[in-house]
């Protein structure tokens, strides 16, 4: 596996693959890699001839008082994991390379970015869209793979790619969970043992809500119960628990179409997010696959 930091060396490294007609998949990460990231790499390995992973803790997507300085960093261990899963090239640009002096351009995606995490973390999705646009521009991949755990982020990136005609096939990979159901996240490392146990209320509340909505219970009542379960588990601030249209992320008060239950809440000093797919009663009756 090649490891490149200098952006000027990236193009020549990729050129030989393009000249040979090989397809390139990009897996953008912020490091502190876990089995969820490896699922992305494995999917990329299966879909493309070459796999490029990037590690860049992007300062533009962290707000004031967020965890930029303490975000876990373990590049040597990350590199070993990536190489073990068949990654061909690891790109680790610096902030100075990505945002040189005088950098003044950001990418804003209206609509899908404005609610939920967009409201709870002002400026976050501008930072995400800007860095992903830069990564796409530098690597020029045929496809890029992102985890569905960050479901709104995936929607923002898809919208940006479509609107700007970037020509990258943006693929979402299902959330990877621990055996007890907690979605894998680099930020899980912040949790104490007690917080880790209580954090299970998040996936369990969403799963109970999914079952209730698919059974036809009123959406508002189901969401209220889910929020109460989080409060009972000593979650602090609950930013949102919502049923949304899977494409637009607009809130739904009745089950219809392709849906997601999404949630974000604080436990201790750690903010966790999660989501589950909801299948309409009609789709359940005809055996529509659940993911």
Alpha carbon separation from 285 to 120, 244, 281 (Å, rounded) = 37, 21, 6
* Pick from 49, 54, 70: nearest CA to 5: 54
Alpha carbon separation from 113 to 152, 245, 248 (Å, rounded) = 7, 13, 10
Rounded to 5 degrees, φ, ψ at 251 are -70, 145
* Pick from 49, 184, 61: nearest CA to 132: 61
- List beta partners, residue 2: 89
* Pick from 105, 104, 122: nearest CA to 113: 122
Alpha carbon separation from 284 to 44, 217, 221, 290 (Å, rounded) = 30, 15, 21, 9
Neighbouring residues of 162: CB distance < 8 A, sequence distance ≥ 6: none
Can you read off the two tokens belonging to residue 266? 């604080």
- List beta partners, residue 260: 244, 277
Neighbouring residues of 216: CB distance < 8 A, sequence distance ≥ 6: 255, 281
**Is 37 one of the annotated active-site residues of the chain?**
yes
Contact of 89 with 1, CB cutoff 8 Å: yes
State the catalytic residues: 37
């Amino acid at each position: 596996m090649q490891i490149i930091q200098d952006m000027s060396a990236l193009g020549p490294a990729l050129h030989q693959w393009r000249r040979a007609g090989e397809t390139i998949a990009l897996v953008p990460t912020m490091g502190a890699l876990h089995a969820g990231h490896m699922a992305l790499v494995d999917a990329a390995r299966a879909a493309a001839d070459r796999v490029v992973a990037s590690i860049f803790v992007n300062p533009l997507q962290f707000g004031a008082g967020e965890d930029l300085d303490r975000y876990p960093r373990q590049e040597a261990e990350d590199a070993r994991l990536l190489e073990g899963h068949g990654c061909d090239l690891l790109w680790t640009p610096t902030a100075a390379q990505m945002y040189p002096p005088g950098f003044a351009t950001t990418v804003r995606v209206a609509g899908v970015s404005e609610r939920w995490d967009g409201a709870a973390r002002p400026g976050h999705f501008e930072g995400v869209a800007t860095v992903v646009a830069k990564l796409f521009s530098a690597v020029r991949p045929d496809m890029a793979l992102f985890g569905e755990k960050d479901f709104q982020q995936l929607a923002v990136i898809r919208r940006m790619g479509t609107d700007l005609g970037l020509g990258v096939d943006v693929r979402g990979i299902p959330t990877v969970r621990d055996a007890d159901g907690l979605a894998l996240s680099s930020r899980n490392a912040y949790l104490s043992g007690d917080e880790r146990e209580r954090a299970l209320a998040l996936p369990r509340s969403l799963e109970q809500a999914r079952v209730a909505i698919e059974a036809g219970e009123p959406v508002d009542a189901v969401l209220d119960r889910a929020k109460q379960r989080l409060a009972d588990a000593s979650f602090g601030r609950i930013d949102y628990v919502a049923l949304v249209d899977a494409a637009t992320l607009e809130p739904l008060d009745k089950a219809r179409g392709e849906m997601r239950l999404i949630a974000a809440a604080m436990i201790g000093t750690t903010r966790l997010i999660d989501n589950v797919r909801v299948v309409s009663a009609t789709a359940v009756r005809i055996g529509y696959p659940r993911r």
